[in-house]
Amino acid sequence: MISLSDIESRIVLNVGGTRFETMKSTLKKLPATRLSKLTEQLSHYDPVLNEYFFDRNPNVFSQVLNYYRTGKLHYPTNVCGPLFEDELSYWGLQREDVEPCCWMTYTRHRSTQETLQIIDSLELDTLCSTKEDIMKKFHYEDEILQGRELSTGKRIRTIIWQIFEESRSSTISKIITVISVFFILISIMSFMLQTMSVFNVTEINFVTAYINSTTMKRMPTPNGEDITQAFQIIQWTCNAWFIFEITIRFIVSPNKTLFCKSAFNIIDFLATFWFVLTYILTNIFHIPENEGFDLISTIRVVRIFRLCTLHPGLKIIVIAMQYSSTILWLLIFFVFTAIALTASFIYYAERSTPNEDNYFTSIPDSLWFSMITVTTIGYGDLYPKTLLGMLVGAVTTIAGVLIIDLPMPIIVETFANFNTHLTARSKLPKKRRKIAVVEKPRKVQVSPLG
């Protein structure tokens, strides 16, 4: 038999068509929430059916009610994060009340939104800006607002900008990109090839020399024309293109400060500038070429990074590295700690046993050995010879393998995260790509019910 007081203490909640039944005392467990303040005077109350009706999501509510019963709030797996948050704030619960085991699932949508926002702000998947975007970039909105046509000069400026900056926006820009890539590759290739001994010869002409009236001999004479002159011509052609390209891009760029701050532009400028400067110094001021000049010339090879800006996939690698910078710094710190520790150990281990040709004469020498071993390179130019030294060497190797491999999955995951979202987005129509702003966790306010 159910007593009358039992029925009195029960309460029926109809949430979105699903009926939930619970004890009144259960709802009092969490004070200052919507359910703890239910009275029959509320508009939610249906006196005919003796129940409270709420037009909310019943899936989430079963978890909410469970929170009242058990004091633990878990995440319903079939509901997306923002919906869950909305429902929580309706019922007057704090989002921080979610149990730690569900916290990851609950916050996943937040990191997804952040990733999407980064992709959005970097314009990673913009093949071709719309007219409005370009006008905004160049601050030409006034003309549009006043209904005036753009002047020819301004129109040409935007067209040239698009050709040079958006590599896949039109056929002309694709051609320009191909030419650019071609010259970058040729410039780097010729820079590398000219160091080969095969190309380091002087062309020799053979002249017939008459020694006396009966004998003659073919004599080699240097032509003076160096084959490496060909490399000079190639370098000049490439650099002429680079100068042309960077000048045009600078002239039409809507934001000159931003243009000058871009790392790719700085590299491009320095490489070209250094090429012209060395030419002037050696050929006009006759300063002999030296090793220092050549060393700085290697900046030309850095130009290859410009290829990274051409494909969104390549850009993501750079961005993934940037967003994993915390873990990368941690790795560098860890590697250096390991190197310093093992170097000191092996130095004293090798010294402990008398050994005639000990490689480890100082700790800096041992630092080189440790670095090569920890990074698993192992040149083999230095190696321990005593038993104790070998033991330290073995420990160093194993520690190296562990340290180097540990943070890799994190960087790979960041990359995969960006990559999957970018691929998913590219399948959406452009207008649907707008994303909601990530909200900061806020205090939930319980409004007076009614």
- Taking CB under 5 A as the binding criterion, the range among 95-103, 223-231, 254-262, 402-410 that sits at the site for Zn ion is 95-103
Residue type at 323? Y
Minimum distance from CB of 22 to Zn ion (Å)? 21
Q: Give the burial class of 110: count Cβ atoms within 10 A of its Cβ; 0-12 exposed, 13-18 middle, 19 or more buried.
A: middle
Site residue total, Zn ion (CB under 5 A): 4
Instruction: Compare residues 66 and 232 and give the one whose CB is closer to Zn ion.
Output: 66
Minimum distance from CB of 74 to Zn ion (Å)? 4
Instruction: Compare residues 102 and 395 and give the one whose CB is closer to Zn ion.
Output: 102
Rounded CA separation 32/29 (Å): 10
Minimum distance from CB of 94 to Zn ion (Å)? 16
CB 61 within 8 A of CB 31: no
- Taking CB under 5 A as the binding criterion, the range among 96-104, 224-232, 262-270, 377-385 that sits at the site for Zn ion is 96-104
- Taking CB under 5 A as the binding criterion, the range among 99-107, 118-126, 133-141, 178-186 that sits at the site for Zn ion is 99-107
Rounded CA separation 83/60 (Å): 9
Over the window 122 to 151, marking each residue x when it contacts Zn ion by CB under 5 A and - when it does not, the resulting string is ------------------------------
Indicate the pairing of strand 10-15 with strand 51-54.
Answer: parallel
Contact status: 99 vs Zn ion (CB under 5 A): yes
Residue position matching structure tokens 């080699």: 220
CB contact set of 80 (below 8 Å; sequence gap of 6+): 109
Minimum distance from CB of 43 to Zn ion (Å)? 34
- Taking CB under 5 A as the binding criterion, the range among 68-76, 142-150, 238-246, 354-362 that sits at the site for Zn ion is 68-76
- Taking CB under 5 A as the binding criterion, the range among 11-19, 70-78, 344-352, 368-376 that sits at the site for Zn ion is 70-78
Instruction: Compare residues 108 and 433 and give the one whose CB is closer to Zn ion.
Output: 108
Instruction: Compare residues 99 and 289 and give the one whose CB is closer to Zn ion.
Output: 99
Rounded CA separation 237/186 (Å): 10
Three-class DSSP labels, 116-150? HHHHHHCCCCCCCCCHHHHHHHHCCHHHHHCCCCC
> In this chain, which residue has its C-beta nearest to Zn ion?
102
Instruction: Compare residues 99 and 114 and give the one whose CB is closer to Zn ion.
Output: 99
Residue position matching structure tokens 């240097």: 222
CB 118 within 8 A of CB 438: no
Residue type at 80? C
Minimum distance from CB of 36 to Zn ion (Å)? 23
Minimum distance from CB of 110 to Zn ion (Å)? 17
Applying CB under 5 A, which of residues 23, 79, 102, 243 lies at the interface with Zn ion? 102
Minimum distance from CB of 102 to Zn ion (Å)? 3
Residue position matching structure tokens 């989430």: 60
Instruction: Compare residues 102 and 144 and give the one whose CB is closer to Zn ion.
Output: 102
User: Residue-wise over 18-36: b if at least 16 C-beta within 10 A, else e?
Assistant: eebebeeebbeebeebbbb
Instruction: Compare residues 46 and 99 and give the one whose CB is closer to Zn ion.
Output: 99
Contact status: 74 vs Zn ion (CB under 5 A): yes
Rounded CA separation 91/424 (Å): 34
Instruction: Compare residues 30 and 411 and give the one whose CB is closer to Zn ion.
Output: 30
Minimum distance from CB of 100 to Zn ion (Å)? 8
**356-364 own/partner pairs: CB under 8 Å, 24+ apart:** 357/385, 358/385, 359/383, 359/384, 359/385, 360/384, 360/389
Instruction: Compare residues 80 and 189 and give the one whose CB is closer to Zn ion.
Output: 80
Instruction: Compare residues 63 and 386 and give the one whose CB is closer to Zn ion.
Output: 63
Minimum distance from CB of 413 to Zn ion (Å)? 22
Angstrom distances, CA of residue 422 to CA of 112, 116, 311:
11, 8, 12
CA-closest candidate to residue 235, choices 166, 175, 164, 283: 283
Minimum distance from CB of 104 to Zn ion (Å)? 9
The footprint of Zn ion (CB under 5 A) covers 74, 99, 101-102
